[in-house]
């Protein structure tokens, strides 16, 4: 057997061939795409909207800029960025999953947001843009699903302009043990049951809970950002560290 065929990675708590993970993740998001927004509201009690507002406020987005909303899914960030960059700017909603991309495109078009938004199916590990071409990159709740996160971070660094910034909004490690226990109880018991009740799909939400636990903690992710070249890195814990917003700049 060839060495490349022997490489493995995690899919939640399962070990899978590295080459297969992208297809497993795709199956999850094909399943949840149609009711992704509803499930976000139900499972986060609407708090995801606050997390995203903080991300947008931290972006420094302004008129005329080019912004990449990576793993942008159903377009919550894209909608606001479209207004901030105006007619002279551009927002690219990028996602590896075509089902999520279609839901996002339909939702934004229904809201009349069409003139400065592009939709591109892409893999975060090999972004299809020239070097030094993007002002701001955001990736919200998407990095933990990427097979090679370091490769994706390097790709983001490459396409950012000097002075550009990356913002990573992602589930992380709670700051307190009591909160960790409560969060685990919720994630592994209630979350899959809600997925079963609403989507008849508990397995996808079981994976999502597991993928959060497999994701690097706050300090590890910040170190990974520095490793590929980001400077002035920092992170902000929200909701007791259940979610963290990481920032980094390219100079």
Annotated binding site: 74, 95, 123-124
Instruction: Round to whole Å and give the CA distance between 29 and 24.
Output: 9
Terminal Cα distance for the chain, rounded = 43
Burial of 186 (0-12, 13-18, 19+ CB in 10 A): middle
Select from 168, 152, 131, 149 the least CA-distant residue to 55.
168
Instruction: Round to whole Å and give the CA distance between 233 and 178.
Output: 28
Whether the CB-CB separation of 170 and 215 falls below 8 Å is answered with: yes
Q: Which residues of 167-178 are buried (b: 16+ CB within 10 A; e: fewer)?
A: bbbbbbbbeeee
Select from 189, 246, 238, 192 the least CA-distant residue to 216.
246
Could you list the residues known to form a binding site for S-adenosyl-L-methionine, using ranges: 74, 95, 123-124
Helices (H) and strands (E) in the chain, counts: 11, 9
Spell out the alpha helix ranges (H) of the chain.
Answer: 3-6, 18-32, 36-44, 48-58, 76-85, 98-110, 149-159, 177-185, 191-199, 202-214, 218-227
């Amino acid at each position: 057997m060839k060495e490349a065929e022997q490489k493995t990675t995690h899919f939640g708590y399962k070990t899978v061939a590295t080459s297969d993970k992208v297809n497993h993740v795709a199956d999850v998001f094909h399943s949840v795409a149609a009711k992704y927004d509803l499930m976000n509201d139900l499972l986060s009690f609407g708090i995801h909207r606050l997390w995203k507002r903080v991300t947008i406020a931290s972006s420094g987005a302004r008129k005329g800029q080019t912004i990449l909303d990576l793993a942008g899914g159903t377009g919550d960030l894209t909608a606001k960025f479209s207004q901030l960059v105006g007619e002279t700017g551009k927002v690219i909603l990028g996602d590896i999953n075509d089902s999520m991309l279609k839901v996002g495109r339909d939702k934004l078009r229904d809201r009349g947001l069409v003139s400065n938004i592009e939709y591109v199916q892409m893999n975060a590990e090999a972004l299809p843009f020239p070097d030094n071409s993007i002002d701001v990159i955001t990736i919200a709740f998407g990095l933990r699903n990427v097979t090679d996160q370091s490769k994706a971070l390097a790709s983001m660094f490459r396409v950012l302009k000097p002075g550009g910034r990356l913002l990573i909004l992602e589930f992380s490690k709670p700051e307190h043990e009591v909160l960790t226990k409560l969060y685990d109880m919720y994630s592994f018991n209630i979350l899959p049951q809600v997925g079963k009740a609403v989507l008849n799909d508990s397995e996808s939400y079981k994976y999502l809970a597991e993928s959060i636990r497999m994701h690097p903690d706050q300090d590890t992710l910040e170190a990974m950002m520095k490793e590929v070249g980001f400077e002035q890195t920092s992170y902000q814990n929200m909701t007791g560290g259940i979610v963290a917003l990481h920032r980094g700049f390219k100079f």
